Amino acid sequence: MLTTAMQYDIDLGPVSLTDWFWRTAYQAAYAAERTGAPPPQNFLVNGMNVNPLNTTQGQRAKLTFTPGKKHRLRLVNTSTDVRVSGSDCCQDQLTCFI
């Protein structure tokens, strides 16, 4: 259990995680009634990511970590139907207390 008593050196604040659809909510709901929830076309971290169809468009969110320091992140998953794990968004070691 994460408590505020846990020691950290740097608070990076909230980090939002969400899925992204190019369809309107009405189009997605219509499709969901017939075939189930559609998969998202992209995943955003703090509202940012590259276009998966053209990676020269957009940019990835960047978080700065200081070696040897403990960082506090408040992950906020606002996605509609997606489970997020550290391996989905992090290529380096990430330890999450949930």
Q: State pLDDT tens for residues 58-87.
A: 998 888 899 899 988 888 888 876 665 555
As a whole number of angstroms, the distance between CA 82 and CA 96 comes to 18
Count of CB atoms within 10 A of residue 53's CB?
9
Give the pLDDT confidence score for residue 82 in this predicted structure: 61
Could you read off the pLDDT of 57-66 as tens digits, one per residue?
A: 999 888 889 9
8 A C-beta contact, residue 89 and residue 45: yes
- Reading the block at residue 17, the tokens are 């995680």
Can you tell me the distance from the alpha carbon of 66 to that of 3, in angstroms, rounded to the nearest whole number?
22
Q: In CATH, what number does 10-84 get?
A: 2.60.40.420
| Tens-digit pLDDT profile for residues 10-57 | 999 999 988 888 888 888 889 889 998 788 888 888 999 998 889 899
Q: What does R_g of the chain's alpha carbons equal in angstroms?
A: 16
